[in-house]
Amino acid sequence: MKANLAIHGGEPAVTSPLPPMYPGGMRIGAEEEAAVLDALRGKRLFRYYGPERGASRVEELEAAFAAHVGATHALAVTSGTAALMGALVGLGIGPGDEVIVPAYTWIATASAVFAMGAAPVIADVDESLTLDPESVRRAITPYTRAVIAVHMRGAPCAMDALIALGAEHGLAIIEDTAQACGATYHGRYLGTIGDVGAFSFQFNKIITSGEGGMLTTDDAAIYRRALMYHDVAGGLRNAVPNDEVIPGVNHRMSELHGVVALAQLGRLEGILADMRRRKQTLKDALGEVLQEKGLGYRIIHDPQGDAAIALIFFARSSAQARELAQAISAEGVRATNLYSPDKVDYHVYCHWTPIMGQRAWSANGGPWKQHPREIVYTPDMCPRSLDLLGRTVHLDVSPDLTDEQVVQVADAVTKVVEALA
């Protein structure tokens, strides 16, 4: 049996290279091209003015995005990180405040909190690889102001429990939806359930303009502060009374990015449908063999709402997870293990060296040294997250996999799991 495995010199199960995992990026086509040319020809590259009259396409994107997800307000910005910063400003979070972030998220979530002068506090994830509400509860202190619920790898957090916890303790809920644009939870779009949502259109995300982001909220006051923050003249431009204007920085989206993001928004539901269908086929094909070997999928709090960008299952040990990932990769399917102690990866808190080392850019030590209580980070402070992440095998689910490739991916995993697990 073992001789069959590609890692032992056998024939790989996958016979043609699989599509790269840039769902929106790989679908850039005639619409994006035409939209960019149109913007260039109109010489209207800045959202607030230009030589020609006509509506701003960034403004059009905001209206379309808000309508699509069902938010009252949407604000386009330069990145997902900028959207998170706008969300924190919108909620009035700054020095002396604490914001709870999950142990598993892109470091940008914690960096945005640091950038506001507030202290990130790290809580465990559960078998969904998203924030564990009970761990959040234990991390609350008198200084906690908000929780950033990160919908990792396309899947919703336990939003009911997090919203209830927020209400119980007077905490705002920010949804970091950078990896889950278009995903839902009990029928509602992620990013519209908490107080404010943050999306990214960076090239790795579900839809993309290369760089870009979006903030969504139903709260007029949050929107107004975020609007002022994202444009140094945002108060003036939006007729905010002079004595209410707060300082801002320039995180405005350019029209060139806006037209691309707008074209991509038109592709979103098609991309999601294609990923969901492929993921379901894979799950149906693999369910039995995984179960036989005692391996389980990660929990998804609302499977129907899953963006379906990834298929993740747990091995019994981290050594087994690494062995399986290597063998599956050798079959021609990129399989990864989401945490190893010796491979620096900014998705796992213990590898966030600038945050873990509390390296502020100011001589006074920044948010950590100026904070009213001592914040302590240790590499083993979230052992549950490290155990779970260490045991994962992660597969991409590209919307562009052919039916034949989906079968080959299932064959590759089956072959390896049967031989090694």
For ligand PLP, the binding residue among 81, 216, 329, 385 (CB under 6 A) is 81
81 vs 385, beta carbon nearer ligand PLP: 81
Q: Please spell the DSSP secondary structure of 356-408, one letter per residue.
A: HTT--SSTT-HHHHHSSS-----TTS-HHHHHHHHTEEEEE--TT--HHHHHH
Is residue 385 part of the contact set for ligand PLP (CB under 6 A)? no
Among the listed ranges 102-110, 236-244, 319-327, 387-395, the one in contact with ligand PLP (CB under 6 A) is: 102-110
- The amino acid that residue 80 corresponds to is G
* SS3 call for 148: strand
| Cα of 212 vs its chain's centroid, Å | 13
56 vs 111, beta carbon nearer ligand PLP: 111
Sign of the four-CA dihedral 259, 107, 309, 128: negative
44 vs 394, beta carbon nearer ligand PLP: 394
Residues 149-178 that bind ligand PLP (CB under 6 A): 150, 176, 178
Reduced DSSP (H G I as helix, E B as strand, rest coil) percent helix, strand, coil of the chain, to 5: 45, 15, 40
Is residue 339 part of the contact set for ligand PLP (CB under 6 A)? no
- 194, 208, 213, 183: which is closest to 62 by C-alpha? 213
| Cα of 85 vs its chain's centroid, Å | 15
Q: x-or-dash pattern for ligand PLP, window 106-145, by CB under 6 A?
A: x-xx------------------------------------
Is the CB of residue 225 less than 8 Å from the CB of residue 246? yes
**Continuous H helices in 18-56:** 30-42
Among the listed ranges 49-57, 76-84, 274-282, 366-374, the one in contact with ligand PLP (CB under 6 A) is: 76-84
Quote the tokens at residue 35: 């939209």
Among the listed ranges 75-83, 181-189, 335-343, 364-372, the one in contact with ligand PLP (CB under 6 A) is: 75-83
Q: Is 205 a catalytic residue?
A: yes
Is the CB of residue 214 less than 8 Å from the CB of residue 201? yes
Is residue 80 part of the contact set for ligand PLP (CB under 6 A)? yes
115 vs 409, beta carbon nearer ligand PLP: 115
DSSP tag of 315: -
Question: What are the angstrom distances between the C-alpha of 217 and each of 142, 224, 306?
Answer: 26, 10, 21
Q: x-or-dash pattern for ligand PLP, window 191-210, by CB under 6 A?
A: ---------x-x--------
Marked catalytic residue, from 43, 205, 279, 283: 205
14 vs 196, beta carbon nearer ligand PLP: 196
Closest residue by beta carbon to ligand PLP: 80
109 vs 320, beta carbon nearer ligand PLP: 109
Task: Give the residues lining the site for ligand PLP (CB under 6 A).
Answer: 79-81, 105-106, 108-109, 150, 176, 178-179, 200, 202, 213
Q: Tell me the catalytic residues.
A: 205
